[in-house]
A and B are shown apart, each in its own frame.
Chain A
């Protein structure tokens, strides 16, 4: 039986050559469909739309599996351009500690520039050197460059200036900027920017394919923080969707069991993957190694993997039995990730460093950041007036000037109808 205010949505998950999808009203699944082959997404969407007893509001695709496949199998290497006051003196510091990340990088350069955490320039930006590096990347036949400036999390001017100069001088080169993903830590932002650069071609193809499949329906893309973004945002920042599968799995499992807050235990043959959903959003963090094993600035679900036997023997260690947090078990047969995609809300995530001299000043900066996050929700199809701040944390950074805070704000909203 449908709710009076029915909100039918299609959630779909692409995997290999196949697609699995559901037509759902919140956690209530009305129909399922699967398909295989190039035309399958369109067929599946049309089939589910045809079965819908009321107009379908939107379709949300989880394309994390094909994105991960693209990263693992057929990714073209990219260039990395760091902006620092001084270049590293050794290869170990000039490169990235992760061999996985290094395998994506065919060209690397460093130019002078960058800011400190308080937004003060540490060195004048050497734009001619940046342009020269871009030419070097292009001469190697590379199609994209990831630009990472120190301090860009608080002052992105040098990254933007490099992007402008490079695009003017080498227009065929695509540029990915680290501050667009955000997060504190040059290496973690470099990971995000490199993944964006590497995945641009695959993301473009996938987004186009999904948009064609969606037809006239509004088309969204599931993200690793448990939300959704527009086609254009995912096309530009594919790293946001890289770990969406588990975010959608947690969300879908909770929705299927009618919970807004729950501990989710997803059981496979040998392993239990444990995560949590709070107030309708999966618990996420911004510095976790994802499926590719590299710590990433973009938020992704906090998961614990434990053997089934160990879990069974020490269940209370992972499920303390809090009455406010019921446990939900899923074996995968329900395909909760597609349900999660059908009901994921618009979200926004900001992770920045600010300086505030007084408590009032800090609260004001926090409120400003929250307003910025609310504003970002509109781009993901939020129903006006439904925005809420799901999480807003200000943490004093250790051993720096008093009044330096890391602000993490997570906002969500009801999807517009």
Chain B
């Protein structure tokens, strides 16, 4: 057992930023300030492995569902985690003995720490994504058969939603509630027991985000970041260059996903000059180097500023901006056939196979 301290929070936030795969992280300073104040008041949060607590300990994943940009515009009031968990407990008829994490990306790496501090509960070192995906049923919890509901969600308006539904229905119903609640809801979902987490969760996800964050914060420069990240995560640098094109609505969108697709084209500096095309919808989903698939969801694809080593969000990308394109392998569960069926390229509308599924045939390629 270890703990999350105030001193850990900047590293946790930095690691979570990289694991967002390009999605926005607009108000991390406000959330960081709040969680720091909570830890100053309540002390460090115990960070436990699933087998550190009795296996019948009731737990639920917690996190923000919706847009971090909307959350930056409409900050939390501060009572949402406690209200959401209490509403879920009332629906379950039992109290939680621990909280775990929906995804260790964006503010969702920090908010479970806030929830644990407010509720006086341990935080289980585990999440359901190992990064972020757009839909709440795209989790290892769902893959292992843990029901998504009942769930309870509370927004900045103070409304409380308690939902019982099948996983995909829950996603649609909750998304509708998100859209009328200012763009986000703090949600407690996937109620289960800690005994199920070793097979259903991505154990060690919080520690991994912390390690990634320390690699980013401790590095001397962008070359050092590449070395440290590779050591921690087996990441690869796909290229460094300048954004030369930015297009939106570049392909038909699946109506189940929030946001519209867009594309970013990077021309690399090094010889031979390469064109890296990045396909995005909420997150960066595909990286094609000179037309050849180089990385694909569920692996994390992210952009790093080659000048100062900071992570760049898709929303901050402008034509002319210098970027380094990096890919980080996803948790092993996502490279299984079941994992790729849920969150591989085809789940996002790309008629291609993930590199782990075997050699990819490119459009126009002649079968020999």
* A residues 47-100 in Cβ contact with B at 8 Å: 84-93, 97-98
A317/B222 in contact, CB under 8 A: yes
Q: Give the CA-CA distance A293 to B328 in the complex, in Å.
A: 32
B307/A362 in contact, CB under 8 A: no
B315 at the interface (CB under 8 A from A): yes
- Residue from B30, B67, B306, B320 within 8 A of A398 (CB atoms): B67
A153 at the interface (CB under 8 A from B): yes
A400/B73 in contact, CB under 8 A: no
B157/A399 in contact, CB under 8 A: no
* A residues 368-394 in Cβ contact with B at 8 Å: 391, 393-394
Q: Give the CA-CA distance A321 to B78 in the complex, in Å.
A: 49
Q: Give the CA-CA distance A187 to B242 in the complex, in Å.
A: 30
* B residues 22-64 in Cβ contact with A at 8 Å: 23-24, 26-27, 29-30, 32-34, 36-38
Q: Mark B344-364, 1 if CB is under 8 A from A, else 0.
A: 000000000000000000000
A400/B27 in contact, CB under 8 A: no
B91 at the interface (CB under 8 A from A): no
- Counting chain B residues whose Cβ lies within 8 A of the other chain, the interface size class is 35 or more
Nearest neighbor of A151 in chain B, beta-carbon distance: B73
B34/A92 in contact, CB under 8 A: yes
B262 at the interface (CB under 8 A from A): yes
Nearest neighbor of B248 in chain A, beta-carbon distance: A394
Q: Give the CA-CA distance A187 to B26 in the complex, in Å.
A: 10
Interface SS of B by simple majority: loop
Shortest CB-to-CB span from A169 to chain B, Å, is 27
B227 at the interface (CB under 8 A from A): no
Nearest neighbor of A360 in chain B, beta-carbon distance: B249
| Residues on the A chain within 8 Å of B317, using CB | 395
Shortest CB-to-CB span from A19 to chain B, Å, is 33
- Residue from A92, A317, A318, A405 within 8 A of B248 (CB atoms): A405
B72 at the interface (CB under 8 A from A): yes
Shortest CB-to-CB span from B260 to chain A, Å, is 4
Shortest CB-to-CB span from A85 to chain B, Å, is 5
A403 at the interface (CB under 8 A from B): yes
Beyond A86-B156, A114-B74, A317-B307, whether A398 also contacts B179 by CB under 8 A is: no
Nearest neighbor of B157 in chain A, beta-carbon distance: A85
A116 at the interface (CB under 8 A from B): yes
Shortest CB-to-CB span from A386 to chain B, Å, is 22
Q: Give the CA-CA distance A151 to B78 in the complex, in Å.
A: 19
Nearest neighbor of B34 in chain A, beta-carbon distance: A92
Interface size on A, residues (CB 8 A): 59
A400/B74 in contact, CB under 8 A: no
Q: Give the CA-CA distance A287 to B312 in the complex, in Å.
A: 12
| Residues on the B chain within 8 Å of A416, using CB | none
B242/A406 in contact, CB under 8 A: no
Beyond A122-B157, A396-B248, whether A391 also contacts B319 by CB under 8 A is: yes
A315 at the interface (CB under 8 A from B): no
* B residues 249-292 in Cβ contact with A at 8 Å: 249, 253, 255, 257-262, 269, 280-283
Beyond A85-B157, A283-B320, A406-B315, whether A397 also contacts B24 by CB under 8 A is: yes
A150/B157 in contact, CB under 8 A: no
Shortest CB-to-CB span from A243 to chain B, Å, is 17
B179/A401 in contact, CB under 8 A: yes
Q: Give the CA-CA distance A98 to B77 in the complex, in Å.
A: 18
A395/B70 in contact, CB under 8 A: no
* B residues 161-210 in Cβ contact with A at 8 Å: 179-183
Counted as pairs of residues, one from A and one from B, with CB atoms less than 8 Å apart, the total is: 188
B318 at the interface (CB under 8 A from A): yes
B260/A318 in contact, CB under 8 A: no
- Residue from B69, B77, B78, B246 within 8 A of A400 (CB atoms): B69
A320/B269 in contact, CB under 8 A: yes
Q: Give the CA-CA distance A184 to B234 in the complex, in Å.
A: 35
B156/A285 in contact, CB under 8 A: no
Nearest neighbor of A321 in chain B, beta-carbon distance: B269
B183/A396 in contact, CB under 8 A: no
Q: Mark B220-254, 1 if CB is under 8 A from A, else 0.
A: 01100000000000000000001000101100010
Q: Give the CA-CA distance A304 to B307 in the complex, in Å.
A: 7
Q: Give the CA-CA distance A90 to B76 in the complex, in Å.
A: 10
Beyond A86-B156, A89-B79, A185-B72, whether A398 also contacts B258 by CB under 8 A is: yes
A396/B34 in contact, CB under 8 A: no
Q: Give the CA-CA distance A394 to B319 in the complex, in Å.
A: 11
Q: Give the CA-CA distance A192 to B322 in the complex, in Å.
A: 27
| Residues on the A chain within 8 Å of B221, using CB | 314, 317
A398/B37 in contact, CB under 8 A: no
A224 at the interface (CB under 8 A from B): no
B7 at the interface (CB under 8 A from A): no
Beyond A93-B30, A116-B183, A403-B260, whether A395 also contacts B314 by CB under 8 A is: yes
Shortest CB-to-CB span from B193 to chain A, Å, is 29
| Residues on the B chain within 8 Å of A89, using CB | 77-79
B258/A400 in contact, CB under 8 A: yes
Beyond A362-B249, A391-B319, A399-B258, whether A91 also contacts B79 by CB under 8 A is: no
B66 at the interface (CB under 8 A from A): yes
Shortest CB-to-CB span from A140 to chain B, Å, is 25
B316 at the interface (CB under 8 A from A): yes
Shortest CB-to-CB span from A82 to chain B, Å, is 9
B340 at the interface (CB under 8 A from A): no
B147 at the interface (CB under 8 A from A): no
Shortest CB-to-CB span from B26 to chain A, Å, is 5
A287/B66 in contact, CB under 8 A: no
Q: List 29 A-B contacts (CB under 8 A).
A: A86-B158, A88-B76, A93-B34, A97-B32, A114-B74, A116-B70, A116-B182, A117-B69, A117-B70, A117-B73, A122-B74, A185-B26, A186-B72, A187-B27, A278-B320, A295-B29, A304-B308, A320-B269, A362-B248, A391-B318, A397-B24, A397-B69, A398-B283, A399-B66, A400-B258, A402-B255, A402-B257, A402-B258, A405-B248
Question: B-contacting residues of A (Cβ < 8 Å)?
Answer: 84-93, 97-98, 114, 116-118, 120, 122-123, 150-151, 153, 184-188, 274, 276, 278, 283, 285, 287, 295, 304, 314, 317-318, 320-322, 359, 362, 391, 393-406, 408
Q: List 5 extra interface pairs beyond A92-B33, A285-B318, CB under 8 A.
A: A93-B75, A187-B30, A304-B308, A398-B259, A405-B260
List the 4 closest A-B pairs by CB distance, nearest first.
A97-B33, A92-B37, A89-B78, A400-B67
Question: A-contacting residues of B (Cβ < 8 Å)?
Answer: 23-24, 26-27, 29-30, 32-34, 36-38, 66-70, 72-79, 134, 156-158, 179-183, 221-222, 242, 246, 248-249, 253, 255, 257-262, 269, 280-283, 306-308, 314-320, 322
